[in-house]
């Protein structure tokens, strides 16, 4: 019985070591633009949104350890595809208006930042004042 558990443990360790060699894209494309926002709103966006929704992602240490690296890279790719603040001026007006409606819905509904993100980044949590500022910015544009 002990030998069986040792083999399982050794196999698991070998698998965890092997998956470290699976490449993961943790690149940041060049920043071409920045979203035009008041300074207080820009600070909130940078603190709470940019890691997933910009080309200025700060990749945490666990983004280099599989399988967490796969999950983080996937979330960043999805976030950038949904909304990329460093591509904002390149969007046409209709896309920007839809993005602002989405921002309003997500912030008002408490769905952004994601709870899973906040576990490792508690400083990204939106205060009531942060939410009010983001909502006012999204509504007034």
User: Tens of pLDDT along 93-140?
Assistant: 999 999 999 999 999 999 999 999 999 999 999 999 999 999 999 998
Asked if omega into 67 is within 30° of 0 (cis), the reply is yes
In contact, 49 and 113? CB cutoff 8 Å: yes
pLDDT of residue 7: 73
pLDDT at 15 over 70: no
Q: Is the pLDDT of residue 29 over 90?
A: yes
Q: How far is CA 113 from the centre of its chain?
A: 8
Q: Output 68 or 77, whichever has higher pLDDT.
A: 77
Distance CA 72, CA 99 (A): 22
Cα first-last separation, the chain: 67
Q: In this predicted model, what pLDDT tens digit does every residue of 43-52 receive, in sequence order?
A: 999 999 999 9
What is the structure's pLDDT at 141? 74
Entry pTM: 0.85
Length of the chain in terms of residues written: 141
């Amino acid at each position: 019985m002990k030998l069986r558990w040792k083999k399982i443990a050794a196999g698991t360790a070998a698998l965890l070591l092997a998956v470290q060699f699976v490449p993961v894209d943790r690149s940041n494309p060049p920043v071409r633009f920045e979203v035009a926002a008041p300074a207080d709103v820009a600070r909130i966006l940078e603190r709470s949104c940019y890691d997933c929704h910009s080309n200025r992602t700060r990749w945490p240490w666990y983004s280099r350890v599989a399988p967490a690296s796969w999950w983080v890279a996937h979330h960043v790719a999805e976030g950038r595809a949904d909304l990329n603040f460093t591509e904002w001026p390149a969007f046409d007006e209709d896309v920007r208006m839809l993005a602002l409606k989405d921002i309003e819905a997500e912030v008002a509904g408490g769905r952004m930042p994601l709870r899973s993100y906040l576990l490792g980044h508690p400083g990204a949590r939106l205060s009531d004042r942060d939410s009010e500022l983001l909502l006012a910015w999204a509504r007034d544009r």
